[in-house]
Amino acid sequence: MALKVRDEEDVIESVLRYHRAQGVDFFIVTDNGSTDGTREILGRWVDAGLARVIDEPSPELKDRGHEWVTRMARLAASEHDADWVVHGDADEFWWPLEGTIKQALALVPAAYGVVLGPRVEFVARPEGPGSFFDRLVYREAQSRLRPKIAHRALEDVLVLHRGQHDVTAGADYEEAWQRLRTPGRPVTRTVRPEGAIEADDPLVWYPHWPLRIFHLPLRSLEQYRNKIEAMLNDPVSTGGGMRGRLRERYESGGIEELYAELTTDDAALERGLAEGSLARDERLRDFISGLSDQFGDGPRPDLPPPSADGLAAERAELELDAMRVLARTERILMIRNDEARAEIRKLNRKVDRLRSKPKGKGKGTKRRPLLRRARRAVGRALGRG
């Protein structure tokens, strides 16, 4: 399992124990500058020979996150003899519909190399006694987040996004693009040159969903406060927009009020259950409470197996969930791609106008910064597309 973490002391031990009990053999963890007890917890797993930690305190997660997860995936294949790599964050729990994660992946036919895990979010609940697992037993009935991936271990795998939503194979993005690009317009070329596309793509998506992901992003007021403070203290995250509004609420003492707005109270819970938008799901809580070994190596919790009808219903639910999310994601990407192309055309026209202007006395020094800014804007638009 490949994980990227930062200040997750309240949940990281449970994530490791849980996935170890579900069949994960080894963990590669990229720590993005944790300052709480996360590193001490990870250190115990390193000492036990069950984890490897990579220090990456850089604030460049948005720009380099895909490099970090690619590095972990490649290390799993090249140095840790992995068959599969399961990607996740510290607030995500991969749940197998039957058996363990390892057993579910072992049943994937050899022609397929990627398993998608639809993610469903557990709603935040008001503070109360016990652990957050005791309170977080209600989730969305329908997955709304983009799936994460598990994939066969390859030394040249390339994770395409820091969010671990898809992978391909190739030394770098240019090579991956050449392998993946479409033939072009039919009027100019109908057949790709021989050998341009590999017939045996090892990373084809599996058209079934034997695993889902339970996402627990809001676990307690303390955890939420720590997350907000880390975000606001990050020198890269001092701009306006959402972070600016959060800063205003934080400085005015409104974190408790903001957290209360994000939680689902009893009345909202009853409405959600009645409407079918929420569902009660105690399986993760019961599994976690049944773990006895500190590293998850003890006997698995003896939970009642799903009935045949219940299993069939969950498979159908997951299938519909996954296709809804994938369809929505594809449509969003197409819209963004068209918007980026329109922006690129507009910026290129601006660059052409600037280039065509006569280099009158004293004008050259003004044109160069304008050209540089326009070129940077084109680059940003290309990056969004």
| pLDDT tens sequence across 1-36 | 999 999 999 999 999 999 999 999 999 999 998 999
Q: Rounded to an integer, what distance in angstroms lies between the CA atom of residue 136 and that of residue 281? A: 9
* Confidence check: pLDDT of 361 > 60: no
Q: Rounded mean pLDDT of the chain?
A: 87
DSSP string, 81-112: --SEEEEEETTEEEEESSS-HHHHHHTS-TT-
Cα-to-chain-centroid distance, residue 28:
16
The pTM (predicted TM-score) of the whole model is: 0.86
User: For 278, what's the count of Cα atoms within 13 Å in the CB-facing half-sphere?
Assistant: 21
Contact 159, 87 (CB under 8 A): yes
| pLDDT tens sequence across 97-132 | 999 999 999 999 999 999 999 999 999 999 989 999
pLDDT band at 48 (very low <50, low <70, confident <90, very high): very high
| pLDDT tens sequence across 144-163 | 888 999 999 999 998 887 78
Residue percentage of the chain with pLDDT more than 90? 56
**H or E segment to which residue 221 belongs:** helix 221-233
Long-range CB contact pairs, 305-310, < 8 A, 24+: 305/98, 306/97, 306/98
pLDDT band at 367 (very low <50, low <70, confident <90, very high): low
DSSP string, 46-88: HHTTSEEEEE---S-HHHHHHHHHHHHHHHHHHTS--SEEEEE
For the domain made up of 2-218+265-305, the CATH class stated in words is: alpha beta
DSSP string, 335-364: HHHHHHHHHHHHHHHHHHHHHHS---TTTH
Contact 210, 98 (CB under 8 A): yes
* Confidence check: pLDDT of 344 > 80: yes
